[in-house]
Amino acid sequence: MRFITITSGKGGVGKSTISANLAFTLSQYGYKVALFDADIGLANLDIILNVQPKKNILDVLKGECKFEEILININKNLVLIPGESGEEILSFKDEELIKRFLDGTKNFNDFDFLIIDTGAGIGGYVRNFIDASTDTIVVTVPDPSAIMDAYAMIKYSSKLKDKIFMILNEVKNQKEAVAIFNKIKSVAQKHLNNKVNLEFLGYIEKSSLISETSKNRELFVKKEPMSKSSLQVVQIVKKLTSNQTKDGKKIDEENSISTFFKRLFLNF
């Protein structure tokens, strides 16, 4: 199972939109996906997916309900794990309850991906999420301040991870995406002492389909699967899953959702 943290330097660059549409596309390719909302911003995942969670992970942590009770099925291969702000989740320190929580998530070992939508910036809690993940994706848009912030995020993440993926969002075209990526990569190689392996995962052009579907609480990959934007997400999925087989169903405990939460809460 892969635990993928989606993050950015600057806010509002499309993390939640990408998390939801990427997770949905992966699920349509037959992967079992859990989408975890670790950021309570303005447009959190429940709004994007047009569902109304009654309870979230914090209620499970407090022992007020079971893990399975908060899960929301989006389709046969995709569930949403409603979250709380990452800070709130990580400030939970009751070890007994954490243990009980971990026990309750042990059986959720049928997933190929956990996609975690985090907030922007180098907040304290983002570190824990990156640390606990197997993969990190940094999202940026072309404006110079976002690029500066993305670079700061990469610098920070490179202390925690050898390899970092990037998605360029709201670009004009592939050429612009690749040019920006190459610039960031060359700056990173010049200035970061540790050798960070920055990898281009893909790009999504700025499109009115995306802003329109967001307003209507729809997923663009679901509404217009053959659109340019959706095909750009498919390219991202292909790159992300190259070298990965779907028959990896022999999943042991190391690969369950509880493994992620163990790493998150117990640094284990």
121 binds Mg ion (CB under 5 A): no
Q: Which is nearer to ligand ATP, 169 or 259 (CB)?
A: 169
Shortest CB 2 distance to Mg ion, Å: 20
225 binds, among ligand ATP, Mg ion, none (CB under 5 to 8 A by kind): none
SS (H, E, C) the chain: CEEEEEEECCCCCCHHHHHHHHHHHHHHCCCCEEEEECCCCCCCHHHHCCCCCCCCHHHHHCCCCCHHHHCEEEECCEEEECCCCHHHHHCCCCHHHHHHHHHHHCCCCCCCEEEEEEEECCCHHHHHHHHHCCEEEEEECCCHHHHHHHHHHHHHHHCCCCEEEEEEEEECCHHHHHHHHHHHHHHHHHHCCCCCEEEEEEEEECCHHHHHHHHCCCCHHHHCCCCHHHHHHHHHHHHHHCCCCCCCCCCCHHHCHHHHHHHHHHCC
Shortest CB 66 distance to ligand ATP, Å: 28
207 binds, among Mg ion, ligand ATP, none (CB under 5 to 8 A by kind): ligand ATP
137 binds, among Mg ion, ligand ATP, none (CB under 5 to 8 A by kind): none
Q: Which is nearer to ligand ATP, 43 or 65 (CB)?
A: 43
Among 8, 16, 85, 258, binds Mg ion (CB under 5 A): 16
Q: Which is nearer to Mg ion, 16 or 77 (CB)?
A: 16
**Rule CB under 6 A: which residues touch ligand ATP?**
8, 11-17, 39, 41-43, 119-120, 169-170, 204, 206-207, 210-211, 214
42 binds, among ligand ATP, Mg ion, none (CB under 5 to 8 A by kind): ligand ATP
Shortest CB 230 distance to ligand ATP, Å: 11
85 binds Mg ion (CB under 5 A): no
